[in-house]
Amino acid sequence: MEDEAGVHARGVTRAFGPVQALRGLDLTVPYGQVTALVGANGAGKTTLLLILATLLAPDAGEIRVAGHDLRTRPEAARTALGWMPDTFGAYDQLTVAEYLQFFADAYGLTPPEGAARTAELLTRVHLLEMARQPVHVLSRGQKQRLGLARALVHRPKVLLLDEPASGLDPRSRVELRDLLRSLAAEGVAVLISSHILSELEEIADRVVLVERGATAGEHEIATLMAEARGLWRVRALEEEPLAEALDVRRVPYRRQETGGLDIGPLTEREAAVLLGELVGAGARIFSYAPVGGALESVYLAMTEDRT
Ligand SMILES: Nc1ncnc2c1ncn2[C@@H]1O[C@H](COP(=O)(O)OP(=O)(O)OP(=O)(O)O)[C@@H](O)[C@H]1O
């Protein structure tokens, strides 16, 4: 059965002994988009990804991957999904090409198909020159790229990645971003967990915030960016005189947990005029700049009340 989304999960729960890792989590991962899972350490992201990859059973919940119910059709779901874990498995004695051919074989590709697919993927993840090297000589980042190629061997409709950028150098990160964007453009439903918020803004279309095992919010990245546009972060030696000067002028502001006030929305001209007035009113301002990192702001606001 075809489904409207690559992943459709409702009310997913999972406990490990006394630890309730997931408590009724909902998630939709549309085709043709990159969805990012963001949450604090221990929020439940890896647990969720393992469940979606059919490697861990949930205690309860309704889950369909590529339209296949994980309870009744796990094999069909497995055929439709690609999974890249955050750590690399064994098979160290194989060469890079043999490693991919092994998985092509496991997914039922004929030897010529497997060889062609291996060459195509090694080119795509920039490992062609390493094809004859044993896997164990690869660096961490190269292993991660091989792991991504492995996840793509059978042209999955749903791609699940746990922290894929963590071992990558800056160039490889840009290449990963481009690769994920091109897969989404080809119609793949991509779900990625990551802590690198600034990067997700460029990779992802949507972000799902996970907090203590449940969905805490879902945002379109484009909307977040638009909301952050026109906000300015101001820091002063003393915050109270600055806040009073803003109150007098009826300029809206929000205090940031990390220090400073976010004011606006203001145009550049308005911001420049206001800066002159605030300094004139005695505020000892040492920093005044447009707010960057929309995703980071939402994330920090979400975790503000953490105990
Ligand atoms: N196999 C396990 N046995 C016992 N507890 C587990 C197990 N796996 C996960 N947990 C617990 O479940 C909770 C969620 O863990 P999970 O690894 O899913 O979080 P995460 O969001 O991926 O965190 P991180 O960002 O640190 O990778 C944590 O409290 C963790 O200690």
pLDDT in tens, the chain (307 residues): 445 899 999 999 999 999 999 999 999 999 999 999 998 888 999 999 999 999 999 999 999 999 999 999 999 999 999 998 877 666 678 899 999 999 999 999 999 999 999 999 999 999 999 999 999 888 888 888 899 999 999 999 999 999 888 777 888 888 888 889 999 999 999 999 987 777 787 889 999 999 999 998 888 888 877 777 788 999 999 999 999 999 999 999 988 877 889 998 888 899 999 999 999 999 999 999 888 666 776 676 666 555 4
Q: Are residues 49 and 87 in the same domain?
A: yes
- For residue 17, which atom of ligand 1 is closest to its CA? 4
Among 176, 209, 225, identify where a domain stops.
225
12, 23, 45, best to mutate for ligand 1 pocket (most atoms within 8 Å of CB):
45
Q: Are residues 167 and 248 in the same domain?
A: no
Q: Is residue 27 part of a domain?
A: yes
C-beta 14 within 6 A of ligand 1: no
> Which residues are registered as beta bridge partners of 23?
13
Q: Are residues 235 and 88 in the same domain?
A: no
Residue whose Cα lies nearest atom 11 of ligand 1: it is 21
pTM of this structure:
0.83
Q: What is the CATH number of the domain that holds 273?
A: 3.30.70
Among 176, 197, 225, identify where a domain stops.
225
- Report pLDDT for 227: 74
- Report pLDDT for 186: 94
Q: Is residue 30 part of a domain?
A: yes
The rounded Å distance from CA 122 to ligand 1 centre is 32
Q: Is residue 247 part of a domain?
A: yes
Q: Are residues 180 and 208 in the same domain?
A: yes
The rounded Å distance from CA 50 to ligand 1 centre is 11
Could you tell me if the ipTM is greater than 0.85?
yes
What total number of domains does the chain contain? Answer: 2
Q: Are residues 194 and 245 in the same domain?
A: no
- Report pLDDT for 1: 46
C-beta 44 within 6 A of ligand 1: yes
- Report pLDDT for 189: 97
In three state form, how does the secondary structure of the chain look? CCCCCCEEEEEEEEEECCEEEEEEEEEEECCCCEEEEECCCCCCHHHHHHHHCCCCCCCEEEEEECCEECCCCHHHHHHHEEEECCCCCCCCCCEHHHHHHHHHHHCCCCHHHHHHHHHHHHHHCCCHHHCCCEHHHCCHHHHHHHHHHHHHCCCCCEEEEECCCCCCCHHHHHHHHHHHHHHHHCCCEEEEECCCHHHHHHHCCEEEEEECCEEEEEEEHHHHHHHHCCCEEEEECCHHHHHHHHHHCCCCEEECCCCCEEECCCCHHHHHHHHHHHHHCCCCEEEEEECCCHHHHHHHHHCCCCC
C-beta 45 within 6 A of ligand 1: yes
Amino acid identity of residue 264, one-letter, is G
- Report pLDDT for 248: 93
- Report pLDDT for 201: 79
Q: Are residues 272 and 159 in the same domain?
A: no
Residue whose Cα lies nearest atom 31 of ligand 1: it is 42
- For residue 47, which atom of ligand 1 is closest to its CA? 18
C-beta 19 within 6 A of ligand 1: yes
The rounded Å distance from CA 47 to ligand 1 centre is 6
Q: Is residue 304 part of a domain?
A: no
Residue whose Cα lies nearest atom 2 of ligand 1: it is 16
Q: Are residues 211 and 180 in the same domain?
A: yes
C-beta 42 within 6 A of ligand 1: yes
Residue whose Cα lies nearest atom 3 of ligand 1: it is 16
Residue whose Cα lies nearest atom 28 of ligand 1: it is 42
Q: Name the residue range of residue 240's domain.
A: 231-290
Q: Are residues 236 and 221 in the same domain?
A: no
Q: Are residues 212 and 237 in the same domain?
A: no
23, 46, 59, 215, best to mutate for ligand 1 pocket (most atoms within 8 Å of CB):
46
- Report pLDDT for 307: 42
Q: Are residues 273 and 212 in the same domain?
A: no
Q: Are residues 13 and 56 in the same domain?
A: yes
Q: Are residues 85 and 31 in the same domain?
A: yes
Q: What is the CATH number of the domain that holds 203?
A: 3.40.50.300
